[in-house]
Amino acid sequence: MVTNQLSKPFIKLLFSFMGLLTVTILPTLIVYYYSSPTNGMALFIGLLFLYYPLISLLLGVVITRFSTKIWLAPVSIIPLFIFIFAVWYNETAFFYIPFYCGISFIGSAISYYYPKHKKPLSPTGT
């Protein structure tokens, strides 16, 4: 039986994107649920400046570890943040998307240029 080679990467990409959505949207839902009029805006700003850049960096590292394409991580987070900002923020928050893509690209570059497996030393030490 011949399997379609295109379906395996597509399914892997689909599950990766679903995990990406879960990791990024779940804290937003939790903050939205537990926010009150006194602390709600501070929690959302904390997500903008602390959590989302950290997640962008880590996703850049992880996605590039599993793929050799350095551009895949910054491109894959664009629809994710467009969805988040369209639902929970106003249109001025779209300004942060290039910033998050840049941070993700830095994470991708770190993961791309850092060797996946270090070459073991020989018994002679060379």
- In the predicted model, what is the mean pLDDT of residues 77-86? 83
Q: Which of 5-19, 39-53, 104-118 has the highest mean pLDDT?
A: 104-118
Per the prediction, the chain carries an average pLDDT of 75
Contact 104, 77 (CB under 8 A): yes
For tokens 């369209």, what's the residue?
Answer: 86
53 within some domain: yes
Contact 57, 107 (CB under 8 A): yes
pTM: 0.66
Q: Print the domain residue range for 99.
A: 47-115
Q: Burial-class residue 117 by CB neighbours within 10 Å (0-12, 13-18, 19+).
A: exposed
Segment 26-73, tens digit of pLDDT: 777 777 777 666 666 677 777 777 888 888 888 888 888 777 778 888
Structural domain tally of the chain? 1
For tokens 């070459």, what's the residue?
Answer: 119
- CB neighbour list of residue 57: distance below 8 Å, 6 or more residues apart: 103, 104, 106, 107
